[in-house]
Amino acid sequence: MTGSGFSTAFVLHPASALHDPGWGHPEHQGRLRALAGAVAADMLALHGRVAQIEARSATEEELLRVHTPEHLDQLRRLADRAMEEERSIPWDSDTLVSAASWDAAVGSAGAVLSAVEAIIQGHVRNAFVATRPPGHHARAHRAMGFCLVNHAAVAARFVQDRGWGKRVLILDWDVHHGNGTQEIFYDDPDVFYLSLHQFPHYPGTGSAGERGRGPGEGFTRNIPLRPGTPREVYRESFFRALEEVREGFRPDFVFVSSGFDVLAGDPLGDQQVEPQDLYEFTRGVTAWAEEVCGGRVVVLLEGGYVPRRVGEGAVAVIRALAGLEAPEWDASPRQG
């Protein structure tokens, strides 16, 4: 990719599409197909502003900044076994490993690092990365909640290790609490974790009282929201939380864990958010990032289990990143 006219990178590692927990699993291969199809269908609007860039895989060394060697060994072992037995192997009750899962997870993490590199090299200002499987439940030492590798965490450490930023904000609007991300940075004052999520809900963590530990105290902020929270209340909560974080933290780089399961109608969530809201949230985040860190924002895909809605959400977020108008929604509105 050449030229500096592009504002936004769209990144998808080809292996991400091959992770295969089965079509009966909510996190099936159709999610990414729908996302890529929706982005392709919007190319007329995105043309000249959004460029697809190649993704590399993460190295073992980059993954080891977050995950234990035992965790990576186990992931590789289960993927090998899945290949031999020609079936997906359960890691826990809802997390499956298929033959392609190692490549998908390591490719997805690498895709986020490729996005960071493209921003640092000045090819683009920001990026959207279609990671799969999702990452925010993955803990340092174990997979969990469909997640194998914590892409956002690996990317935050990568930014720090390369000396491209000290303070990193990870903003997570997936409908579930990102327990893995929170845990990895719980005592770290340089990585602020802000999460809005349904509560009580899977995985059970994310109460307002969880605020970090030791030097990291005050650098975790959880906004638990009741099932069925009215759309306006969610919007107000989002902008208030962003304002609060703004007052106390000045990031050098921003990652957004974007779960489209926060959208109304998702089978694994019960919130009323619409793609238009995510468009405005993204505009709010990028406007702040333009002020404090040269607009360095990478949005990465977490959950979202209605494929059509994953596509709509991704287009809304990408349009906002690229500074384009919000899409006109032709689907019948579901005002909450």
User: Which residue in the block uniquely carries the two structure tokens 């298929």?
Assistant: 98
Of the pair 174, 270, the CB lying nearest Zn ion is at 174
Decide: is 180 part of the binding site for Zn ion (CB under 5 A): no
C-alpha closest to that of 251 among 170, 184, 180: 170
CA geometry: angle 230, 231, 234, nearest 5 deg: 90
C-alpha closest to that of 105 among 91, 121, 119: 91
Sequence-separated (6 or more) residues with CB below 8 Å from residue 232: none
Least Å from the CB of residue 202 to Zn ion: 8
Active-site choice (19, 137, 151, 176): 137
Do residues 181 and 172 make contact, with C-beta atoms less than 8 angstroms apart? yes
Of the pair 71, 137, the CB lying nearest Zn ion is at 137
Where b means 16+ CB within 10 Å and e means fewer, 10-33 reads bbbbebbbbbbbeeeebbbbebbe
* Residue 136: active-site member: no
Decide: is 176 part of the binding site for Zn ion (CB under 5 A): yes
SS3 137: coil
Of the pair 194, 322, the CB lying nearest Zn ion is at 194
Site string for Zn ion, 223-242 (x = CB under 5 A): --------------------
Both structure tokens of 295: 């607009």
- CA-CA distance, 306 to 291, in Å (whole number)? 35
Part in contact with Zn ion (CB under 5 A); list of ranges 174-182, 230-238, 285-293, 320-328: 174-182
Number of residues that bind Zn ion (CB under 5 A): 5
Of the pair 92, 325, the CB lying nearest Zn ion is at 92
Decide: is 313 part of the binding site for Zn ion (CB under 5 A): no
Sequence-separated (6 or more) residues with CB below 8 Å from residue 286: 126, 295, 297, 320, 321, 323
Part in contact with Zn ion (CB under 5 A); list of ranges 109-117, 147-155, 157-165, 170-178: 170-178
- Phi-psi region for residue 30, left (φ > 0), alpha (ψ -120 to 50) or beta? alpha
Of the pair 48, 200, the CB lying nearest Zn ion is at 200
Q: Binding Zn ion by CB under 5 A: which of 42, 174, 252, 270?
A: 174
> Contacts with Zn ion in 270-309 (CB under 5 A)?
303
Q: Binding Zn ion by CB under 5 A: which of 259, 307, 311, 313?
A: 259
Part in contact with Zn ion (CB under 5 A); list of ranges 26-34, 74-82, 149-157, 166-174: 166-174
Decide: is 261 part of the binding site for Zn ion (CB under 5 A): yes
Least Å from the CB of residue 96 to Zn ion: 16
User: Which backbone phi and psi does 69 adopt, to 5 degrees?
Assistant: -60, -35
Of the pair 102, 202, the CB lying nearest Zn ion is at 202
Give CA separation, 228 vs 224, 254, 281, in Å: 12, 28, 19
Decide: is 251 part of the binding site for Zn ion (CB under 5 A): no
> Contacts with Zn ion in 104-123 (CB under 5 A)?
none
Binding site for Zn ion (CB under 5 A): 174, 176, 259, 261, 303
Known catalytic residues are 137
